[in-house]
């Protein structure tokens, strides 16, 4: 039978078992063989999320709102899928910076602000302590229920004297447990392995206990799920629980509760403690993202059946639905099951209380007590050689303090509304941390003032719209505050702020508080600027995933002696531990002992991080700064920074220059390539034209040869005529080939040039006599008009003769027969010596004037008229004159003859003779 | 553990799926007075969707050889 002594004994045996497990866990950890270093223990310890509020309260909630109890568990399931991004980053940041609590996390992110750390701590304590009371109340209630076994007790609020209250002793026992296993190490950032092992064990116990009662109710009392729900349909008052309300309010609160619990699973201090601080290996997170939701799934399967069974079993309505889990086995007189359920509820409550207390006490010690002590009694602290015992003392005091605060609140609030609804109210309180933490992890621009304003605004709205109304409903404040609003102003009704209706209390509070919180956070962050320390921390947090290092600018900080640092840390951590830590650090850096360490910025940072694990980042920063003299920025250091910057600038300018040069070179290459392609095309044209030109004489030679060959009896006169044609065409062919070769030579620059001095007059006369036959054949008059005393010319005589011959024969070719007249004249011009060859022939049209200097272009219709030349003469002439540096051109009016002229530049005229004739000309 | 990578992205997709499945308006489609094997349809749907999400999450992270 379950008697009081049996129950008390069982409770103490259970707590004793926890001690044993925690002790074993710590022993194994000390021996280096951790029992919690696996993902299953990690996932189980995360289930500290399920408190007695889950164990007893879920059924209570389900009994009033059906499936409405589920968002509290669906939220964490959804959030777990984002852990891979969010939680992983939190773990990495916290390990790198030895973060000890959520307050430390926020304070550290915003430039190690003590003010911010204190603010977060205050919010957490005010929000969470009632939540701890709720657990104590659950333990107390279940005690009083089970003590009356097998009598069903609807409620049990007879005032119990303090010393007779079992809850008080449970609270003391939990404080002892927490002190023993929660403050073994001074360094709060170190893991509490035994404690985590005990929490994981508690998670197993509460799950098994709940499954046991669930299976019993569903399969022993009824015949499975279908049976329970089918029976429930018979009760008209239960029918409405079978489906969802379906109004917009119901859906809105469903969504907002899901969202709220998503934030709670991240930012409840106990969840941060277990998931981040106690995390052994970040890889454990991988399995936890589905094992933890699976745990939540399992513990909720039987909630609805138990709720319906309870409602059907105790239809009178005088039984609190929160007690169904325990009262159903009691009513069935299942003493063993009753005891199991009781132990399960006890484990759910104690697990939460232990972890939450550790988390809160660390915050209170590091973020409230230490800053105050450091500020108020600096001189006193400086005198004390060893502060480590003081710190441990503060932390132990904080543990007892938090627990006693929770117990006091429980005694004070009792059955009040304030306690019943505190679970969700606490969730809403910690949700205020979300903007500062998430924003701080992903947005570098968030500033300390922004975080302070956002947190303060959100917290204030939370107090006004949720905490104060709950006080009013408990009778601690006039209820008119809720019904009429503050000062009787309806716009300020706390549950319908500014007239916003249609939402439940939690959704209403969540909307206003988070709006104000995020609004103030963003607005103030965007308006204020970060200090240097904030910028450094912001970069460390936001870039944690890429292994951000402290910027080099940190080296601007001044120096302190190594001994000073060790002595300072020794006061807080104990001398032995400080020396060991520095020695280990020295070994890691390649030095043989701590004496060889250089007191540089890196070492100061190491000392600060080490200290942060014990007293929090904000306090550590202040303490280390007290021995490290922050050097003012020396001019040389400023110059160094400027120098680095200007080097970077110069380098970038060089790059720009190089890229511009490259662009120019690319453009040049492109145009060169175009020219090459053009030349290639010209070459192809030239080859095909040459071949065509060669074929013409060849064709006639071959045709006449064949005639001669095929007709041996040809008349001699005819024969003679054909042979002469063959000879002429052969000559033309030879000439053509010679000219092609000649042109190719000149163009490629391979032609041989024999420069000599000669008289232009003689040259012209030679040419005229060579061509005199042509002129006399056609009876063309040939005149020469040359001034006397033309200066001698220095050039290749043969080439120039070739030009003259070509021009003369051209003139002869195109002159009219009989009345033809060709005039050769020469004159000294300002820029050289000019020679004109004028005829009175058919002339050249302006179109033809442009093309006659191109290769193989002859004037006249080559299809109908027999070509009179090779089409290479003029191009060759122009090449030759160009080679001398002069010009060759033509002026002509069609029908009125043409004048070909060339100009030999001054450089071809023998020096000394150039000016004289010119002067003579002028007279 | 390496960077979130493709598995992280898949988890986000499942997260979005979860937000869709377990909320208005999809949720309201199953809010009917109808029972599957005697169990209200809404209960069956909610727990089924929940279990499905957990299974998907497990499948995604356990496929990662790391």
Q: What is the 3-state secondary structure (H, E, C) of A457-474?
A: HHHHHHHHHHHHHHHHHC
- Residue whose pair of structure tokens reads 């942060």 in the numeric block: A612
What are the tokens at B59?
A: 């499948």
Domains present along chain A, CATH in parentheses: 4-64+131-248+284-415 (no CATH), 549-631 (no CATH), 636-742 (1.10.287.130), 754-922 (3.30.565.10)
Which stretch of A77-86, A427-436, A770-779, B26-35 has the lowest confidence by average pLDDT? B26-35
Buried b (16+ CB within 10 A) or exposed e, A764-793: beebbeebeebbeeeebebeeeeeeebbbb
Can you give the pLDDT at residue A328?
86
Whether residue A810 contacts residue A874, with contact meaning beta carbons closer than 8 Å, is answered with: yes
Which one of A81, A233, A283 makes the best mutation probe of the B interface by having the most chain B beta carbons within 10 Å?
A81
Report whether pLDDT(A861) > 50.
no
Quick one: average pLDDT of A709-736?
Answer: 86
Which stretch of A444-458, A739-753, A889-903 has the lowest confidence by average pLDDT? A739-753
Residue A273 C-alpha, separation from nearest chain B C-alpha, in angstroms? 21
Q: Inter-chain contact A84–B64, Cβ cutoff 8 Å?
A: no
Whether residue A819 contacts residue A778, with contact meaning beta carbons closer than 8 Å, is answered with: no
- Chain A stretch 220-239, residues whose beta carbon is closer than 8 A to a beta carbon of chain B: 225-227, 229-230
Interchain CB contact of B17 with A (< 8 Å)? no
Q: Inter-chain contact A286–B14, Cβ cutoff 8 Å?
A: no
Taking CA atoms, A562 is separated from A530, A565, A584, A598, A658, in Å, by 31, 5, 14, 7, 49
Whether residue A461 contacts residue A468, with contact meaning beta carbons closer than 8 Å, is answered with: no
First to last CA, chain A: 154
Quick one: average pLDDT of A810-823?
Answer: 79
Report whether pLDDT(A862) > 60.
no
Q: Tens digits of per-residue pLDDT, A358-404? A: 889 888 988 888 888 877 765 565 566 677 777 888 888 888 898 88
Chain B residues near residue A81 by CB distance under 8 angstroms: 11-12, 14-15, 18, 53, 57
Can you give the pLDDT at residue A783?
84
Chain A residues near residue B35 by CB distance under 8 angstroms: 226, 229-230
Chain B residues near residue A67 by CB distance under 8 angstroms: 42-43, 46
Chain A residues near residue B51 by CB distance under 8 angstroms: 297
Q: Residue A677: is it exposed, middle or buried by C-beta count within 10 angstroms (0-12/13-18/19+)?
A: exposed
Q: Tens digits of per-residue pLDDT, A142-195? A: 888 887 776 765 554 555 565 566 778 778 888 888 887 777 766 666 678 888
Residue B49 C-alpha, separation from nearest chain A C-alpha, in angstroms? 10
Can you give the pLDDT at residue A922?
36
3-state secondary structure of A352: helix
Can you give the pLDDT at residue A636?
64
Report whether pLDDT(A850) > 90.
no
Interchain CB contact of B20 with A (< 8 Å)? no
Report whether pLDDT(A594) > 70.
no
What are the tokens at A422?
A: 């505190």
Which stretch of A263-267, A566-570, A602-606, A856-860 has the lowest confidence by average pLDDT? A856-860
User: Which of A291-300, A462-471, A825-834, A906-915 has the largest mean confidence?
Assistant: A291-300
3-state secondary structure of A866: coil
Can you give the pLDDT at residue A433?
93
Chain A residues near residue B11 by CB distance under 8 angstroms: 81-82, 84, 289
Name the strand (E) or helix (H) holding A446: none
Chain A residues near residue B44 by CB distance under 8 angstroms: none
Q: Inter-chain contact A82–B1, Cβ cutoff 8 Å?
A: no
Report whether pLDDT(A536) > 80.
no
Report whether pLDDT(A425) > 90.
no
Interchain CB contact of A297 with B (< 8 Å)? yes
Backbone φ, ψ for residue A674 (5° rounding): -60, -40
Can you give the pLDDT at residue A319?
75
Chain B residues near residue A258 by CB distance under 8 angstroms: 22-23
Taking CA–CA distances from B64, the nearest residue in chain A reads A286
**Residue of higher predicted confidence among A388 and A640:** A388
Query: How, if at all, do strands B35-36 and B39-40 pair?
Result: antiparallel
Q: Tens digits of per-residue pLDDT, A195-218? A: 888 999 999 999 999 999 999 988
Can you give the pLDDT at residue A708?
86
Chain B residues near residue A70 by CB distance under 8 angstroms: 46
Which ipTM value was assigned to this complex?
0.94
Gyration radius (Cα) of chain B, Å: 15
Report whether pLDDT(A674) > 90.
yes
Residue A215 C-alpha, separation from nearest chain B C-alpha, in angstroms? 16
Interchain CB contact of B61 with A (< 8 Å)? yes
Report whether pLDDT(A560) > 70.
no
User: CA–CA separation, A920 vs A915, rounded Å?
Assistant: 9
Give the closest of A67, A84, A88 to B46, CB-based: A67
User: Which of A479-493, A602-616, A667-681 has the largest mean confidence?
Assistant: A667-681
- Residue whose pair of structure tokens reads 């939680």 in the numeric block: A87
Q: Return the closest-CA partner of residue A118 out of A455, A381, A399, A377.
A: A455
User: Which of A328-337, A353-362, A734-743 has the largest mean confidence?
Assistant: A353-362
Can you give the pLDDT at residue A921?
39
Quick one: average pLDDT of A510-522?
Answer: 92
pTM: 0.67
Residue A390 C-alpha, separation from nearest chain B C-alpha, in angstroms? 39
Quick one: average pLDDT of B3-18?
Answer: 82
Q: Inter-chain contact A84–B11, Cβ cutoff 8 Å?
A: yes
Taking CA atoms, A908 is separated from A402, A558, A768, A792, A858, in Å, by 114, 83, 22, 9, 30
**Residue of higher predicted confidence among B49 and A613:** B49
Opening angle at CA A450, ends A259 and A520, nearest 5: 60
Which stretch of A10-19, A745-754, A784-793, A866-875 has the lowest confidence by average pLDDT? A866-875
Confidence of residue A728 (pLDDT cuts 50, 70, 90): confident
| Residues facing A755 on adjacent strands | A796
Report whether pLDDT(A491) > 50.
yes
Q: How many CB atoms lie within 10 A of CB A914?
A: 16
Quick one: average pLDDT of A613-623?
Answer: 77
User: CA–CA separation, A683 vs A190, rounded Å?
Assistant: 85
- Residue whose pair of structure tokens reads 């059955």 in the numeric block: A415
Taking CA–CA distances from A246, the nearest residue in chain B reads B28
Can you give the pLDDT at residue A384?
64
Q: Inter-chain contact B23–A255, Cβ cutoff 8 Å?
A: yes
Q: Return the closest-CA partner of residue A139 out of A270, A269, A7.
A: A7
Can you give the pLDDT at residue A565?
78
Q: What is the mean pLDDT of chain A?
A: 81
Can you give the pLDDT at residue A632?
54
User: CA–CA separation, A767 vs A152, rounded Å?
Assistant: 146
Q: Return the closest-CA partner of residue A142 out of A131, A151, A130, A155.
A: A155
Can you give the pLDDT at residue A673?
94
Q: How many CB atoms lie within 10 A of CB A292?
A: 27
Which one of A71, A73, A76, A78 makes the best mutation probe of the B interface by having the most chain B beta carbons within 10 Å?
A78
Can you give the pLDDT at residue A860?
55
């Amino acid at each position: 039978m379950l008697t009081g002594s049996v129950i008390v004994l069982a409770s103490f045996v259970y707590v004793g078992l926890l001690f044993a497990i925690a002790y074993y866990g710590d022993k194994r950890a000390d021996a280096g063989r951790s029992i919690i270093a696996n993902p299953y223990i990690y996932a189980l310890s995360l289930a500290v999320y399920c408190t007695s509020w889950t164990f007893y309260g879920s059924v209570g909630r389900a009994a009033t709102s059906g499936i409405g109890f589920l968002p509290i568990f669906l939220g964490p399931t959804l959030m777990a899928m984002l852990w891979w991004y969010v939680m992983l980053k939190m773990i990495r940041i916290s390990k790198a910076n030895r973060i000890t609590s959520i307050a430390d996390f926020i304070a550290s992110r915003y430039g190690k602000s003590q003010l911010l750390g204190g603010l977060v701590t205050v919010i957490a304590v005010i929000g969470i302590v009632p939540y701890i009371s709720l657990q104590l109340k659950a333990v107390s209630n279940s005690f009083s229920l089970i003590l009356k076994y097998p009598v069903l007790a609807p409620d049990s609020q007879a005032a119990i004297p303090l010393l007779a209250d079992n809850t008080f002793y449970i609270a003391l026992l939990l404080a002892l447990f927490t002190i023993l296993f929660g403050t073994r190490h001074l360094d709060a950032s170190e893991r509490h392995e035994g404690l985590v092992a005990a929490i994981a064990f508690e998670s197993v116990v509460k799950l098994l206990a709940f499954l046991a009662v669930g299976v019993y109710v569903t399969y022993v009392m009824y015949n499975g799920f279908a049976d329970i729900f089918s029976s429930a349909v018979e009760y008209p008052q239960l029918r409405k629980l079978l489906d969802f309300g379906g109004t917009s309010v119901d859906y809105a609160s469903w969504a907002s509760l899901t969202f709220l619990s998503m934030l709670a699973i991240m930012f409840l201090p106990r969840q941060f403690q277990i998931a981040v601080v106690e995390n052994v290996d970040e890889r454990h997170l991988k399995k936890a993202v589905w094992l933890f939701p699976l745990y939540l799934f399992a513990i909720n399967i039987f909630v609805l059946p138990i709720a319906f069974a309870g409602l059907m079993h105790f239809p009178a309505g005088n039984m609190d639905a929160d007690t169904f889990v325990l009262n159903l086995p009691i009513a069935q007189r299942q003493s063993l099951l009753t005891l199991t359920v009781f132990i399960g509820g006890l484990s759910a409550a104690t697990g939460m209380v232990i972890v939450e207390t550790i988390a809160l006490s660390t915050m209170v010690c590091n973020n409230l007590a230490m800053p105050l002590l450091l500020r108020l009694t600096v001189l006193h602290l400086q005198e004390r050689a060893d502060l480590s015992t003081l710190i441990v003392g503060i932390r132990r005091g904080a543990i007892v303090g938090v627990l006693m605060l929770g117990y006091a609140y429980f005694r004070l609030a009792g059955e009040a509304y304030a306690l019943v609804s505190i679970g969700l109210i606490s969730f809403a309180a910690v949700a205020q941390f979300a903007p500062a933490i998430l924003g701080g992890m992903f947005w570098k621009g968030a500033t300390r003032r922004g975080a302070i304003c956002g947190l303060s605004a959100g917290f204030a709205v939370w107090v006004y719209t949720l905490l104060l109304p709950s006080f009013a409903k408990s009778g601690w404040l006039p209820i008119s505050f809720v019904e009429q609003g503050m000062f009787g102003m309806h716009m300020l009704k706390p549950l319908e702020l500014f007239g916003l209706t249609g939402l439940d209390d939690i959704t209403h509070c969540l909307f206003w508080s988070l709006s104000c919180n995020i609004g103030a956070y963003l607005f103030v962050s965007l308006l204020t600027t970060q200090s240097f320390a904030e910028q450094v921390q912001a970069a460390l947090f936001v870039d944690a995933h890429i292994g951000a290092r402290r910027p080099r600018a940190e080296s601007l900080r001044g120096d302190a002696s190594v001994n000073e640092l060790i002595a300072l840390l020794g006061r807080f951590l104990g001398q032995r531990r400080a020396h060991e830590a520095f020695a280990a650090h020295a070994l890691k850096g390649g030095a043989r002992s701590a004496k060889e360490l250089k007191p540089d910025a890196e070492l100061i940072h190491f000392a600060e991080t080490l200290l942060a694990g014990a007293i929090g980042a904000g306090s550590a920063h202040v303490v280390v700064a007290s021995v490290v003299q922050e050097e003012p920025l020396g001019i040389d250091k400023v110059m160094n920074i400027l120098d680095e910057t200007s080097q970077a600038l110069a380098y970038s300018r060089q790059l720009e220059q190089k890229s511009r040069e490259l662009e120019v070179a690319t453009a040049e290459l492109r145009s060169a390539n175009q020219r090459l392609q053009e030349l290639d095309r010209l070459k192809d044209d030239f080859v095909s034209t040459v071949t065509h030109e060669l074929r013409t004489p060849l064709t006639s030679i071959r045709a006449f040869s064949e005639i001669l060959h095929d007709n041996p009896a040809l008349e001699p006169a005819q024969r003679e005529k054909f042979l002469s044609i063959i000879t002429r065409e052969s000559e033309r062919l030879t000439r053509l080939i010679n000219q092609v070769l000649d042109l190719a030579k000149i163009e490629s620059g391979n032609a041989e040039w024999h420069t000599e001095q000669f008289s232009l007059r003689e040259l012209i006369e030679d040419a005229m006599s060579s061509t005199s036959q042509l002129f006399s054949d056609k009876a063309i008059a040939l005149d020469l008009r040359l001034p006397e005393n033309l200066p001698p010319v220095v050039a290749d005589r043969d080439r120039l003769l070739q030009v003259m011959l070509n021009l003369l024969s051209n003139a002869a070719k195109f002159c009219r027969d009989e009345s033809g007249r060709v005039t050769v004249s020469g004159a000294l011009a300002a820029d050289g010596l000019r020679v004109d060859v004028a005829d009175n022939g058919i002339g050249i049209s302006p179109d033809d004037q442009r093309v006659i200097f191109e290769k193989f272009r002859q004037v006249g219709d080559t299809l109908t008229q027999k070509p009179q030349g090779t089409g290479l003469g003029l191009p060759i002439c122009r090449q030759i004159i160009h080679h001398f540096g002069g010009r060759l051109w033509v002026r002509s009016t069609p029908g009125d003859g043409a004048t070909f002229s060339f100009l030999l530049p001054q450089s071809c005229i023998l020096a000394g003779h150039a000016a004289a004739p010119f002067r003579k000309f002028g007279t | 553990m390496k960077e979130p990578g493709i598995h992280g992205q898949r988890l986000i997709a499942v997260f979005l799926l979860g937000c869709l499945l377990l909320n208005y308006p999809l949720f309201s489609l199953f809010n009917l007075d109808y029972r599957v094997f005697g169990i209200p349809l809404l209960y069956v749907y909610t727990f089924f969707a929940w279990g499905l999400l957990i299974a998907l999450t497990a499948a995604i992270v356990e496929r990662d050889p790391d």
